[in-house]
Amino acid sequence: MGSLTGKVAWVTGAGSGIGQAAAVALAKEGAVVVLTGRRKAPLDVTAAAIRKAGGKAVVKPADLMKAAAVSRIAADIGKKFGRLDILVNNAGLNILERSWKQLSAKGVDEVVHGNLSSAFYCTSAVLPIMRKNKGGVLIHTSSMAGRQASLLSGPAYSAAKHGVVAMSHTINMEECVNGIRSCVVCPGEVATPILDKRPIPITKAERARMAQSEDVGDLIRYIACLPAHIVINEVMINPTWNRSYVANLQRGKA
C-alpha cells in the first residue's frame, strides 16, 4: 500500500510536463487521480500510463479558464468520491509575444487567466470539500518568475505567478484552522513543452541540463505524502547547472 491509498487527487494540466509526472507519481502512491486539461487526448495518455502501472485515473477535460467548468468538475468529484485530499494546481501557459513592446490585451488576458484565474477557480471550488472533511493539501505550480520578476518569462507571466505565490500563502493564513495546507512550488527551468513558447529556442543539450518533469513531480508527491500536521509553505527547485548563474559567471570573467 502506498502512502496515499484511499485518497483522491485532482491534477490540472495533467496531459504533459509537470502535471503528467505529478499525476503518475501520486497514482503510484495509491491515490485515485482525476486528470484535467483542455485536450482529452493527452489526458488519455496519462491515464493509460497510470492504469498500466496498476493505478486508478479518471479523465475530466475542461478549460480551467472558465469558472463554471471548474465548478462542475469539483462537484463531480464531491459526488463520486465524497472527498478530495489533494489539489495539484498546475495548469499554466505562456505566449511568444510577451515583452511590453509586443504585449496585447488579448495576450495579457490569456496569460493571467491561464495561470492565475484558473488557480483561483480551482482553489475556490475545492476548499468547501476539504473543509467538510477537515483536511487536505493544495500544491500550486508557480515559478522562479513568481519570486523574481523576469523579462525572459515576460511581465504578464511574472505578475501572474507572483499572484499564485501570494494566493497560496493566504490559504494557509485562513485555512490552517481547518486542517488545510497549501504549498507553492517555484521551479526554475524545467524541460517541459512550455519551453516551446520561448522567443529564443532552447537546444536539446540545454534541456538535458535542466530540471526534468519527473524531478518536480516527485517533489509534489513528497509534499502530498507529508503528515497532516506539517506544511511546506513554499519551496524552490532548480537545475544545478543554473543558466542565469552561469551567465553571471561568464559576465564576471569578461
Measured CA to CA, the distance from residue 47 to residue 57 in angstroms comes to 5
SS3 assignment, position 74: helix
**At a CB cut-off of 8 Å and minimum separation 6, what does 218 contact?**
21, 25
Known active-site residue 157: yes
Give the strand order in the sheet containing 136-141: 56-59, 32-36, 8-12, 86-89, 136-141, 180-187, 234-237
Residue 1, judged by CB atoms within 10 A of its CB (0-12, 13-18, 19+), counts as exposed
Cell numbers found for residue 28: 503510484
Cell numbers found for residue 138: 493544495
Active-site residue identified among 121, 157, 222, 245: 157
Measured CA to CA, the distance from residue 168 to residue 117 in angstroms comes to 13
Question: Number of H helices and number of E strands within the chain?
Answer: 9, 7
Active site residues: 157
